[in-house]
Structure 1
Amino acid sequence: MEFGVNFFPVIDPEKKSANTYYDESLQLIELAEALDFQHVQTVEHYGSPYGGYSPDPVVFLAAAAARTSRIRLATGAVIASFAHPVQIAARLALLDNLCHGRLDVGFGRGFLPDEFELFGVDMGESRARFTEVVDACVALWSGEEVRFEGAVHRFGPVTGFPRPYQRPHPPVFVASATSTESCALAGTQGHHLQVVPSVTSRQQLTEMTAAYRAARRAAGHAGPGRIQIKYTCYLGEDREQALADARANERNYVEMMAGAVASWASARSAQYPGYEKFAEKARAYDFDRALADHKVLAGTPDDVRAQIETVGGWYGLDICLSLQFNPGHLPYERAERAMELFADRVAPAFTGDGLAAAA
């Protein structure tokens, strides 16, 4: 099992400024490399406290690349609907060169109606835009004089510049919230997978990961593929403090998310079945139930280690957990200590000799 660190800023600007968040996050990235975490990743969102401090993962990861030399840098994910594939491919190839081939590229469709309206993009085109951007980026990274003819994007012939450092191209991840079909397609195409347990049920996520693995095997791709599962982790020697931090910051997350998804109360799209219930689900969030269902990791190192043992039993010991240690307005010192505790007292149980013993 592998462990990485992710950054999803859900922050009230009145409580923490953007420059403070960036400074703290970059310090944690340096620490993550020193502690041998596998990757660091961040999201792409616009126009609200729900992720709005991360409008450009390429810029943020370029800053991370300048401060590190080994840890992998992942987009989690670039929203394919909001830019032209030639722009996306070129900017990501630039980042891959800046970090000397440490880039993993996660692509997502986007799911917030307000963001689609902001960019003047029809949500009904999101699946076509996603598919075309992924296919076009791979073609631009790999080929020469590429001509692309899609339902939305048409261009060429053109050769992608700069060429990515990794050949033929950086590893590609597909981010999926609830779609088993999207996971299966990612497996068929030989891509990797990013999923989030907080927005789906254990049964559904089990079906999603199983569909991905089965499709990848059936298509004959080498290796099992990489599955990243994203969790928020509140960790400390004092259980009550860790749980208090978790309860407060999860409430902040849910409140910010409820505001971001409020437009789903009136928005409808055949490409997003069931998403009109997002606001209702956010309002119904219960921290104790989420903790019991292992949708959030919280407590002492022993508590979190036990949770990960359960999660590994559900989804497999070959997964990578991408962990957020500095959610919301958590003080920097507690996020730093949580990462140190995780590396020292949790991760060793699932890597090397510890993993063999668990198996």
Structure 2
Amino acid sequence: MKFGINFFPTVGPGEKPAGEYFEEALSLVELAEELGYDHVKTVEHYFFEYGGYSPDPVTFLAAAAARTSRINLVTGAVIPAFTHPVKLAGKLAMLDNISKGRLHVGFGRAFLPDEFDAFELSMDESRARFAEGVLACTRLWREEDVVFEGEFYRFGPVTLLPRPYQRPAPPVLVAAAITPSSCEQAGRDGHGLMLVPSISKREKVQEMLGLYRKTYADAAHEPGADEVHMSYNCYVSEDPAEARAKGKQYSQRTNAVMRDAVAAWGERRSSGYAGYEQIVDRIGKADFDKALAENKVLVGTPHEVTERLRTIREWYGDVTISLQVISGNPTHAESVRTMRLFAEQVMPRLAED
């Protein structure tokens, strides 16, 4: 298993100025490199305390690239529907060169109605816009004199500059939430996969993962690109009572800001998001103790978290784990402690297995 840090902010000006947030987050990027983590990752969201301090992953990861030399940089994820593919492909190619080939590009559909409204886009078009945006970006990286004739974008012939540092293109991952067909399409296209196991039952995650891996293998893609990332809230302390109490506090804080961000689903319906009208109710019924028992959060002592990850590895195989160590607004010192304890006491034990 490989491990990285996912910077998913759940903070606003009332708790912390943006400049302070970014300085603390970038210091954690440097610590992640020092401690031997595989990657750092960040999201694209707008307006809400749920992710809103990260409207542009590329900007944050460019700053991260300048402070590091080894660690991989992952967009988790950029939203093709919100940016013209010529612009998006160019920004990402720049980041790939600045980082000397450390970029892994995660693409996502987005799911918050307020974001689509602000960009004046129909949510019913999101799947088609996502697929077209990913295709356009990958063609711009891999080909020259590209002529693109899509439903939403038409351009060319153009040759993107700069060309990506990684040839023919950076590794691509796609985000999937609850829709098995998204996993199947990722496997068919030969891309990696990003999942959030906390929002589904274990059996559903295993079904989606099995479908992805079978489709990838059946398509006869080259081995190695079928990387699977899974994100988990993480809080580690050598005091089990503190770990449980603080882990619960910060998980509940994350749920509260997410509930505000998804509130529009209480009245919104979209053919592209079947079942999402239930999301507000599901978040309101979130049960930390149940999530902990089902290994949907990585909270506990180093030993307890190690055992949780051993179980997760039995369920899902050697996936790449992204630790959300800032979500819920722990103190900076607590995030540092979690990262150090995990790197020094959890990662070595798993490597010995």
CA contact (8 A) 1:142 1:169 kept: yes
For 1:108 and 1:277, the matched residues in 2 are separated by 21
CA displacement at 1:12 relative to structure 2: 3.5
Q: Given the alignment of the two structures, is residue 277 of structure 1 paired with residue 278 of structure 2, yes or no?
A: yes
Q: Given the alignment of the two structures, is residue 84 of structure 1 paired with residue 91 of structure 2, yes or no?
A: no
CA contact (8 A) 2:107 2:134 kept: yes
Amino acid at match of 1:157: P
CA displacement at 1:348 relative to structure 2: 1.2
Q: Which residue of 2 aligns with 1:268?
A: 269
Which has the larger displacement, 61-70 or 246-255? 246-255
CA displacement at 1:200 relative to structure 2: 1.6
Superposition map of 1:53-132 within 5 A: 53-132=53-132
Q: Which residue of 1 aligns with 2:289?
A: 288
Q: Which residue of 2 aligns with 1:40?
A: 40
For 1:239 and 1:13, the matched residues in 2 are separated by 32
Q: Which residue of 2 aligns with 1:320?
A: 320
What is the DSSP-based 3-state SS (H/G/I as helix, E as strand, rest coil) of the residue aligned with 1:314? Answer: helix
Tell me the TM-score normalized by structure 2: 0.98
* 1:95-131 deviations in Å (ceiling 9; x for gaps): 1011010000000000000100011011111011100
CA contact (8 A) 2:187 2:216 kept: yes
Tell me the TM-score normalized by structure 1: 0.97
For 1:235 and 1:326, the matched residues in 2 are separated by 12
For 2:50 and 2:334, the matched residues in 1 are separated by 22
The number of equivalent residue pairs is 352
Q: Given the alignment of the two structures, is residue 226 of structure 1 paired with residue 227 of structure 2, yes or no?
A: yes
- Give structure 1 regions of 4+ aligned residues with deviation exceeding 2 angstroms: none
For 1:240 and 1:80, the matched residues in 2 are separated by 43
Amino acid at match of 1:141: W
Q: Which residue of 2 aligns with 1:241?
A: 242
Question: Share of identical aligned residues, percent?
Answer: 51
What is the DSSP-based 3-state SS (H/G/I as helix, E as strand, rest coil) of the residue aligned with 2:270? Answer: coil
For 2:81 and 2:269, the matched residues in 1 are separated by 17
CA displacement at 1:155 relative to structure 2: 1.2
CA contact (8 A) 1:16 1:329 kept: no
Which has the larger displacement, 195-204 or 31-40? 195-204
CA contact (8 A) 2:12 2:18 kept: no
For 1:186 and 1:323, the matched residues in 2 are separated by 23
Unaligned runs of 5+ in 1: none
Which has the larger displacement, 134-143 or 147-156? 147-156
For 1:289 and 1:153, the matched residues in 2 are separated by 45
CA displacement at 1:37 relative to structure 2: 0.4
Q: Which residue of 2 aligns with 1:331?
A: 331
For 2:329 and 2:185, the matched residues in 1 are separated by 37
CA contact (8 A) 1:230 1:323 kept: yes
For 1:272 and 1:99, the matched residues in 2 are separated by 35
Superposition map of 1:148-297 within 5 A: 148-223=148-223, 225-297=226-298
* 1:314-358 deviations in Å (ceiling 9; x for gaps): 101x2100111122221111111111111111011222xx1xxx3
Unaligned runs of 5+ in 2: none
For 2:239 and 2:253, the matched residues in 1 are separated by 21
CA contact (8 A) 1:41 1:73 kept: yes
CA displacement at 1:150 relative to structure 2: 1.1
CA contact (8 A) 1:105 1:170 kept: yes
